[in-house]
Amino acid sequence: MNASHPQGEPLHIDWELRPDVSDHPNVGGAPEPSVRPIPGSILRQEGPTAKVRIPAQPGKYRLFVAVRDPGGRAAVANLPILAEQP
């Protein structure tokens, strides 16, 4: 993930893995219920990188990253993940 502030201000970056509650992952904009992050799934986060443990339970998940600057401005992105049995 790449992020920068135009004036070089420090950024605060948070990573979360959550169950994917979307029934239609290719369609956006519709309200969806909020679900809690999966405890222990972010093993390490160092700025723009994170080491993530995908649950053993097969299913759909989403990796979220939120970037905030000191002024309270923020951006959020997410990536869908499909975990299958090996």
Q: Quote the pLDDT of residue 85.
A: 86
Point out the residues of the chain with pLDDT beneath 50.
none
Q: Quote the pLDDT of residue 1.
A: 86
Q: Quote the pLDDT of residue 28.
A: 66
Residue 67 tokens, joined: 């970037």
Q: Quote the pLDDT of residue 51.
A: 97
Q: Quote the pLDDT of residue 22.
A: 77
Q: Quote the pLDDT of residue 13.
A: 95
Q: Quote the pLDDT of residue 24.
A: 63
Torsion of CA 53, 58, 60, 66, to 10 degrees: -10
Q: What letter does residue 6 receive in the DSSP assignment?
A: T
d(CA 79, CA 40): 18
d(CA 82, CA 84): 6
- Whose tokens are 């390490």? That residue is 44
